[in-house]
Chains A and B, each alone.
Chain A
Amino acid sequence: MSLERRAAMAALLAGRDDDLLVVPGLGSTCWDLAAAGDNDRNFYLWGAMGGAAMIGLGLALAQPRRRVAVITGDGEMLMGMGALATIGLQKPANLAVIVFDNGLYGETGMQPSAAGGGVDLVNVAAGCSIGACLDVRDEAGLADLAARLKGLDGTLFARVAIAPDEPPRVIPMRDGAALKARFRAAVGVNS
């Protein structure tokens, strides 16, 4: 069983408050995030493949009173899988790394990824000593994850099994300097 990606993103962000900061991966999860509604507290990635989780870590350490959700794809996570070890050591209580896993590289023509070939990202995260590691496969699991994200109180990893569909792209702004300035203004930092 697997979930529809746009509906999954919408469910995770339903009732979003100003203390939730979101970093997607490049590609499909970036379009999913834009489709859920633009927000100054989104930092869309148009590149930096393999870097989403580490951007989330730097942000979570800098903003301990806010919650940070990295919502990326399996291919992007696989490229920066070492970040799970780095995060496992730091254990920021306000960071969730959520992987939309369809086992495919969607942006490049649906080639199979290692996650699709049997690599289990939930076990990888658990092996990296990330405390809470969830394998989300149905609506009930998704609802549980959304609730945990609202009351985040420990480093969280979740793999969300999504269906291999490719909904129409929703393109967010792509001026990196403008995205950065907008995000920092929303968070209220200018140091």
Chain B
Amino acid sequence: MHAPADWPDQLFETLKAGGVRQVGYVPDAGHARLIERCRADPDIRDVVLTTEEEGVALAAGAWLGGERAVLLMQSSGLGNCINMLSLPRACRFPMLMLITMRGEWAEFNPWQVPMGSIVDGVLALCEAEVYRVREAADVQGAAERAVQRAFGDERIVAMVLSQQLIGRKVWTK
């Protein structure tokens, strides 16, 4: 059994076991450990993006070439992806997004709330299957399901990691 704090490692192992070879990301504190694991793995190509929508196009190209890709971002990044998500919708590409939430639980920064508050609505409008995770114990099971649905059935799938799971951001040191 892993301790709850190990959930980013479980996430990494699940993606790796699921055959993910390209990981696009805009850096996010909630994904820091996962990004570190991806960067350290010689079998995984980590692709730092200038904006999240690049990762949607990257994943489509990867699938055209027979590889599995995922996109890591925080909730604000989903807003940047909306039009590019037309690509997996029009072509039925697999699109697996791992979204860390901002603007909900214990959020200090009010500017994170406008986008954070519409994540569920945006995902529904973009025809994404959503797996929302609030407890560390649920991460691995949800990740396995998300990988299977995205690549096994060429679906848009979002795994949404709640702010309670990630923890409170410390603003004063």
Binding site for B on A (CB under 8 A): 21, 23, 43, 46-63, 80, 82-83, 85-86, 89-90, 176-177, 179-180, 183-184, 187-191
B29 interface residue per 8 A CB criterion: no
Q: Identify the closest chain A residue to B21 (Cβ).
A: A62
Q: Which of B7-15, B35-43, B61-69, B122-130 sits within the interface?
A: B61-69
Given the known A-B contacts A47-B86, A89-B48, A191-B66, are A59 and B61 also in contact in the complex, defined by CB atoms under 8 Å?
Answer: yes
Closest 4 CB pairs of A and B: A58-B61, A189-B66, A62-B65, A82-B50
Contact of A86 among B49, B67, B87, B93 (CB under 8 A): B49
Residues of chain A with a CB closer than 8 A to B66's CB: 62-63, 184, 187-191
A51-B56, A58-B62 are known; give 20 further A-B pairs, CB within 8 A. Answer: A47-B86, A48-B57, A48-B60, A48-B84, A50-B57, A58-B57, A58-B59, A58-B60, A58-B63, A59-B61, A61-B61, A62-B66, A80-B53, A82-B51, A83-B57, A89-B47, A176-B92, A177-B92, A180-B93, A191-B66
Q: Are B45 and A61 in contact (CB under 8 A)?
A: yes
Q: Are A61 and B67 in contact (CB under 8 A)?
A: yes
Residues of chain B with a CB closer than 8 A to A189's CB: 65-66
Q: How far is the CA of A179 from the CA of B64 in the complex (A)?
A: 10
Given the known A-B contacts A51-B57, A54-B58, A189-B65, are A83 and B50 also in contact in the complex, defined by CB atoms under 8 Å?
Answer: yes
Given the known A-B contacts A48-B84, A50-B84, A58-B59, are A86 and B47 also in contact in the complex, defined by CB atoms under 8 Å?
Answer: yes
Q: How far is the CA of A82 from the CA of B91 in the complex (A)?
A: 24
Q: Identify the closest chain B residue to A64 (Cβ).
A: B65
Q: How far is the CB of B146 from chain A (nearest CB, A)?
A: 17
Q: Are B68 and A191 in contact (CB under 8 A)?
A: yes
Q: How far is the CA of A60 from the CA of B22 in the complex (A)?
A: 11
